[in-house]
Amino acid sequence: MLTLKLAELQVGYTTIALEFSITGKVPAQITNEIPNPLPFTPPAKLRIIRRCTLFLSDPSQNYRLPQLSTTYDLFALRPTTEKALQLACYSLECDLISLDFSIRHPFYFPIKTIKSALERGIKFEICYGPGVLNADGGASRRNLISNATQLIRATRGKGIVISSEAKEALACRSPADIINLAALWGLPQERGTEAVGREARSVVVQAEMKRRSYRGVIDVLHGGEEPERDPALENSNGSVGKNKRKADTFDEESAVIANAQKPLSKRQQKRQAKQAR
Q: Is residue 264 part of a domain?
A: yes
Map residue 215 onto helix, strand or coil.
coil
pLDDT in tens, 52-89: 999 988 877 766 788 888 889 899 999 988 899 999 99
Q: Is residue 68 part of a domain?
A: yes
Q: Is residue 140 domain-shared with residue 254, that is, in the same domain?
A: no
Mean pLDDT within 147-170:
88
Q: Is residue 49 domain-shared with residue 128, that is, in the same domain?
A: yes
Supply the pLDDT for residue 77: 92
Supply the pLDDT for residue 214: 63
Q: Is residue 146 domain-shared with residue 271, that is, in the same domain?
A: no
CA distance linking residue 169 with residue 207, whole number of Å? 27
Best CA proximity match to 15, nearest among 190, 158, 209, 200: 200
> In this predicted structure, which of 8-17, 44-53, 189-198 has the lowest mean pLDDT?
8-17
CA distance linking residue 24 with residue 8, whole number of Å? 30
Supply the pLDDT for residue 115: 93
Supply the pLDDT for residue 267: 80
CA distance linking residue 245 with residue 241, whole number of Å? 9
Supply the pLDDT for residue 173: 86
CA distance linking residue 59 with residue 80, whole number of Å? 10
Q: Is residue 206 domain-shared with residue 258, that is, in the same domain?
A: no
pLDDT at 25 over 70: yes
Supply the pLDDT for residue 275: 83
What is the residue range of 104's domain?
2-212
pLDDT in tens, 193-212: 999 888 988 998 888 888 77
* SS (HEC) of 173-219: CCHHHHHHHHHHCCCCHHHHHHHHCHHHHHHHHHHHHHHHCECCECC
Best CA proximity match to 182, nearest among 172, 173, 192: 192
Supply the pLDDT for residue 97: 94
Q: How many residues in the chain? A: 277
Q: Is residue 159 domain-shared with residue 253, that is, in the same domain?
A: no
Q: Is residue 125 domain-shared with residue 255, that is, in the same domain?
A: no
Q: Is residue 149 domain-shared with residue 32, that is, in the same domain?
A: yes
Q: Is residue 97 domain-shared with residue 205, that is, in the same domain?
A: yes
What letter does residue 169 receive in the DSSP assignment? G
Give pTM, 2 decimals.
Answer: 0.71
Q: Is residue 262 domain-shared with residue 132, that is, in the same domain?
A: no
Which domain-ending residue is among 191, 212, 233?
Answer: 212
> In this predicted structure, which of 56-60, 128-132, 196-200, 235-239 has the lowest mean pLDDT?
235-239
Phi, psi of 127, rounded to the nearest 5 degrees: -105, 120
Q: Is residue 181 domain-shared with residue 266, that is, in the same domain?
A: no
CA distance linking residue 27 with residue 53, whole number of Å? 14
Which residues does residue 240 pair with via DSSP β-bridges, in sequence order?
234
Reported as a pLDDT band with limits 50, 70 and 90, residue 261 is low
**Burial letters for 85-99: b for 16+ Cβ neighbours within 10 Å, e otherwise?**
bbbbbeebebbbbbb
Supply the pLDDT for residue 1: 39
Supply the pLDDT for residue 220: 56
pLDDT above 70 covers a percentage of the chain that reads 77
Domain count along the chain: 2
CA dihedral angle for residue 40, residue 11, residue 167, residue 81, rounded to 10 degrees? 120
Reported as a pLDDT band with limits 50, 70 and 90, residue 140 is confident
